[in-house]
A and B are shown apart, each in its own frame.
Chain A
């Protein structure tokens, strides 16, 4: 991947990385959106959507509660979507390899968010006297620099993810030995198990949750059977 190809993807990763926490938290950074947009940038939106759906299932496990540490899905979704959409259709290793790249990017990007928050705290410490004196410039400077650094963080993580994982995913796809269907099935089972466990964790206290889930499951199974 050359610079001209990487630049729009890096820009997308920057904007979606910013959406995760800083601005405007409209959840454009959710993997189902981010990966689809990245796929569209590469010229294959359906492929981006496919990996976005699988990543979204896993992302249900990591809801962005306050000060907790969580993987950052905006940049990760872009990396996963772009990598998967760039592989030739029907290659068995493309989905697992791109998923792995996306999950690793999400982990690294989550760590970068922690670092950014520490840097902002350090900057706050150096301007604390001014802010305590009610300096508008110091407050706006701190805030806008925080957002700018977050934008750069997203761009950097996305670029790094693409540069490192693009050749790696390509190599894995070339030497992959399994059939396409079982490869996808393994990935899908992993994602479904994580999603199911996450949803149970969140909704287990809802009255009648199991029956409601089984009701939905019965309808969808019937629909799949008669289709």
Chain B
């Protein structure tokens, strides 16, 4: 089941989101239902678990574990349906805040620090992948374990300190890492020359202030694409 969780989003779509993925991940456990793979209990449970569901992929193990326990314990299907509906929202928002908006940018910034400090390709890539995936694989394992052990009483686990306060602490560390990483990484990309490096840092800070004021209204990568296209065109034509 843990391995299948890694492929949870293989059939992600706009109809059921990762519902069919939940069915895919839970399927091996459902074989233990009375009647086995050809029994009505298996078929009903598989159909139920493959319906609409949304969760952060790393925390989906919480749902998969809890739903497995509920199905194998023969909990009333209507109660399972209500539980699925109630669990989907929190697993999405908690995971998004912890992983996508905290852990991932933090690990990127640490890798950029290593690069700025003169790290080799193997050092930079290795630091990023090891650091990120320690958190990634542990979180998936924790989710599955807690789901399997608590069943439908798993909701209280979402109040775990690392889920509630983790983004705050990681955010603080990421802010320091950003301050360290940006000048060091930029300086290494541009190469020697203190005046140039200073000009870049000042220009970047002014640009950041401008972009920060725009907040949600601006998609930075689109602006980068546009500015870069104009710059390339200008440089080629003049």
A residues near B, CB below 8 A? 21-28, 30, 32-33, 36-37, 39-40, 45-46, 48-50, 53-54, 56-67, 71, 93, 96-97, 99-100, 103-104, 106-107, 117-118, 120-121, 124-125, 131-136, 139-140, 142-147, 150, 172, 175-178, 181, 183-210, 212-221, 223-225
Bound complex: CA A146 to CA B27 (Å): 17
In the A-B complex, list the 6 residue pairs whose CB atoms are closest, starting with the nearest. Answer: A216-B179, A134-B43, A196-B208, A197-B211, A193-B207, A206-B171
* Interfacial chain A residues near B102, Cβ < 8 Å: 202
Given A49-B115, A190-B227, A193-B207, decide whether A23 and B10 contact each other with a Cβ distance below 8 A. yes
- Is B124 touching A32 in the complex (CB atoms < 8 A)? yes
* Interfacial chain B residues near A93, Cβ < 8 Å: 232, 235-236
Given A33-B128, A188-B189, A196-B204, decide whether A66 and B92 contact each other with a Cβ distance below 8 A. yes
- Number of chain B residues whose Cβ lies closer than 8 Å to a Cβ of chain A: 105
Bound complex: CA A192 to CA B15 (Å): 37
Given A61-B219, A139-B23, A191-B224, decide whether A56 and B112 contact each other with a Cβ distance below 8 A. yes
Given A120-B12, A136-B27, decide whether A99 and B208 contact each other with a Cβ distance below 8 A. no
Bound complex: CA A121 to CA B133 (Å): 30
- For chain B, residues 16 to 67, give those with C-beta under 8 angstroms from any C-beta of chain A: 16-17, 20-21, 23-24, 27, 37, 42-47, 50, 54, 56-58
The answer, yes or no, to whether B200 is at the interface (CB within 8 Å) is yes
- Is B220 touching A97 in the complex (CB atoms < 8 A)? no
Bound complex: CA A37 to CA B122 (Å): 10
The answer, yes or no, to whether B160 is at the interface (CB within 8 Å) is no
- Return B25 CB to nearest CB of chain A, in Å: 10
Bound complex: CA A146 to CA B13 (Å): 9
- Is A189 touching B204 in the complex (CB atoms < 8 A)? yes
- Is B228 touching A139 in the complex (CB atoms < 8 A)? no
- Is A143 touching B7 in the complex (CB atoms < 8 A)? yes
- Return A216 CB to nearest CB of chain B, in Å: 2
- Is B175 touching A188 in the complex (CB atoms < 8 A)? no
Bound complex: CA A214 to CA B204 (Å): 14
* Interfacial chain A residues near B132, Cβ < 8 Å: 26-27
B residues near A, CB below 8 A? 6-7, 9-17, 20-21, 23-24, 27, 37, 42-47, 50, 54, 56-58, 92, 96, 100-102, 104-105, 107-109, 111-112, 115-116, 121-122, 124-125, 128-129, 132-133, 136, 168, 171-172, 174-191, 193-194, 196-197, 199-201, 203-205, 207-208, 210-212, 214-216, 218-221, 223-225, 227-229, 231-232, 235-236, 238
* Interfacial chain A residues near B186, Cβ < 8 Å: 188, 192
- Is B47 touching A133 in the complex (CB atoms < 8 A)? yes
- Is A99 touching B228 in the complex (CB atoms < 8 A)? yes
Bound complex: CA A58 to CA B207 (Å): 14
Given A26-B133, A189-B203, A207-B168, decide whether A215 and B21 contact each other with a Cβ distance below 8 A. no
Bound complex: CA A214 to CA B6 (Å): 38
- Is B232 touching A32 in the complex (CB atoms < 8 A)? no
- Return A40 CB to nearest CB of chain B, in Å: 7
Q: What are 17 A-B pairs with beta-carbon distances under 8 A?
A: A22-B7, A27-B128, A49-B124, A49-B125, A53-B188, A53-B189, A66-B54, A117-B12, A120-B12, A135-B43, A139-B20, A147-B11, A183-B235, A202-B171, A209-B172, A212-B175, A224-B197
Closest to B47 in A: A134
- Is B228 touching A194 in the complex (CB atoms < 8 A)? no
- Is B44 touching A200 in the complex (CB atoms < 8 A)? no
